[in-house]
Amino acid sequence: MSIKENVFPSHFAWGAATAAYQIEGAWNADGKGPSIWDTFCHGKGRVYENQNGDVACNSYDLWEEDLRCIQQLGLTHYRFSLSWSRLLPDGTTRHINQKGVSYYNRVINDLLASNVTPMVTLYHFDLPQALQDQGGWTSAHIADAFNSYAVFCFGTFGDRVKLWLTLNEPSVCAKLGHEDGLHAPGLRDPGAAAYLVGHNMLRAHAKAWHSYHALFRPEQRGLVSLALSSDWAEPLDPGSPEDAAAAERYMAFTFGWFASPVFMTGDYPAVMRSRIDARSRAQGFLSSRLPAFSEGEPSVLGTADFFALNYYTSRRARSASPPPGTLGLKSDQGAEGVLDPSWPVCGVSWLAVVPDGLRKLLKHIKDTCNNPAVYITENGFSQVGPVDLEDFRRCGFYRDTLLEVSEAIHEDGVDVRGYFAWSLLDNFEWADGFSVRFGLFHVDFEHPKLTRSMYRSGREYAKIIARNGFPSSAQS
């Protein structure tokens, strides 16, 4: 491999990512309204050891510590999310919480003063509880509520923020939150709720993108997208046509569900439409469980100025034939994802480490989404059990992954503009609480000061950033 191949393009964005509920704490401080994650965690039996994000990393009070971490890594970009109910306690612009505005102004201004570009996510799983009480993402009205919130944020912060993500991982919010009940709001309604939620999320995103485009872009000149998570799936047996079709279905139901409406056709993948329509009919539903886009609404196609990809893992797919009456996304998909025994699993059972899956997925994005600019907005490696600051496996993971990204750029011609490690800090890992650690910095949750200490992987990442890649001397 030549030196050139391991050097990233100039102006490559080197980032790390976080999300409000996972780091901020201060769940009810200074006028913040409750979110669905506050409610979810305060109920019992939902999160590992009944933990919650009431305090988390207390980034609300310890922002300057986080900024120091960002500076120590030498990040050029930092991705964080706004807590909707910290800004708008009841979810509407009827009441604006100025202390919330001041907090995010400080974060943004400090980043810019440190030469770090903010990438801001408007929604990372934490819906204001007041909106959940009106149906949340299952209600068609949510799209307008989200649009008003987005317009408020563009107007308040958009003079300085130029990279926006409306929604983080709508598929995860839809499925884990509304079908499996593992995430807030904890709904277990297999078969229909996830598609309805996903649909309303797409409508909400499209409205916000159109608002930005019409009202703010001419002056602010920023870019707006949404962060899509996807596994990469390949046939379990490459020689089997059934497995090949299963892998295609797996990709359609994970990647295509949101990428197809936004980047490809303006509609869901044909295989989703045909399977869910047919199964809904056979199950006695009066209409398809997969909603249809209506003509009167702003178009979803083309509502992303770049592709924002969260990639964690891969699967081998084989065909599955659940009984026709079974409800749920997996049954509709008719494909099962299994782990290849050669893939190491890191910490959590779902996270098989497959760096070359990222390269393949990047190529797939180039080929199917009209060669967009891509930011990898999340990618990471978890640690469980005893804390090990000398996290050699994670160092190897980042190195292998970034080499794959480099190949995607130089060999496959994918227009990758940046990479955000998940995460800057160990934080509240949703239903796994604090038991699963993804940080480049360890946070001592037992210590009153919530001390941040850099992992070895943080030091390695900082070196890669400083060299803008892997110069030849660093390759051994």
Question: Which CB atom, from 21 or from 470, has the smaller least distance to ligand GAL?
Answer: 21
Question: Which CB atom, from 10 or from 349, has the smaller least distance to ligand GAL?
Answer: 349
- Is 308 near ligand GAL (CB under 6 A)? no
Min dist CB 17 to ligand GAL, Å, is: 8
Query: Are residues 12 and 116 in contact, defined by beta-carbon separation less than 8 angstroms?
Result: no
Beta bridge mates, 356: none
Structure tokens at 134: 């009106």
Query: Are residues 439 and 455 in contact, defined by beta-carbon separation less than 8 angstroms?
Result: yes
Within 21-80, which residues bind ligand GAL (CB under 6 A)? Answer: 22
Which residues are part of the catalytic machinery? 378
Question: Which CB atom, from 19 or from 87, has the smaller least distance to ligand GAL?
Answer: 19
Convert residues 138-177 into a mask of x (bound to ligand GAL by CB under 6 A) and - (unbound). Answer: ------------------------------xx--x-----
Q: Cis before residue 89, ω within 30 degrees of 0?
A: no
Q: What gap in Å lies between CA 386 and CA 434, rounded to an integer?
A: 12
Question: Which CB atom, from 429 or from 460, has the smaller least distance to ligand GAL?
Answer: 429
Convert residues 71-100 into a mask of x (bound to ligand GAL by CB under 6 A) and - (unbound). Answer: ------------------------------
Min dist CB 144 to ligand GAL, Å, is: 25
Within 324-383, which residues bind ligand GAL (CB under 6 A)? Answer: 378
Q: What gap in Å lies between CA 141 and CA 138, rounded to an integer?
A: 9
Within 434-453, which residues bind ligand GAL (CB under 6 A)? Answer: 438
Question: Which CB atom, from 430 or from 470, has the smaller least distance to ligand GAL?
Answer: 430
SS3 212: helix
Helix (H) or strand (E) holding 107: helix 98-113
Nearest to 118 by CA among 64, 86, 163, 149: 163
Helix (H) or strand (E) holding 317: strand 314-319
Q: What gap in Å lies between CA 158 and CA 1, rounded to an integer?
A: 42
Query: Are residues 242 and 318 in contact, defined by beta-carbon separation less than 8 angstroms?
Result: yes
How many residues sit close enough to ligand GAL to count as binding (CB under 6 A)? 12
Phi and psi angles of residue 327, each rounded to the nearest 5 degrees, phi first: -100, 145
The sign one gets for the Cα dihedral 379, 381, 387, 390 is: negative
Per CB under 6 A, the segment of 88-96, 386-394, 397-405, 422-430 that binds ligand GAL is: 422-430
- Is 429 near ligand GAL (CB under 6 A)? yes
Query: Are residues 389 and 446 in contact, defined by beta-carbon separation less than 8 angstroms?
Result: no
- Is 122 near ligand GAL (CB under 6 A)? no
User: Binding ligand GAL by CB under 6 A: which of 253, 430, 445, 455?
Assistant: 430
User: Binding ligand GAL by CB under 6 A: which of 7, 13, 16, 19?
Assistant: 19
Q: Which positions touch ligand GAL (CB under 6 A)?
A: 19, 22, 168-169, 172, 229, 310, 378, 422, 429-430, 438
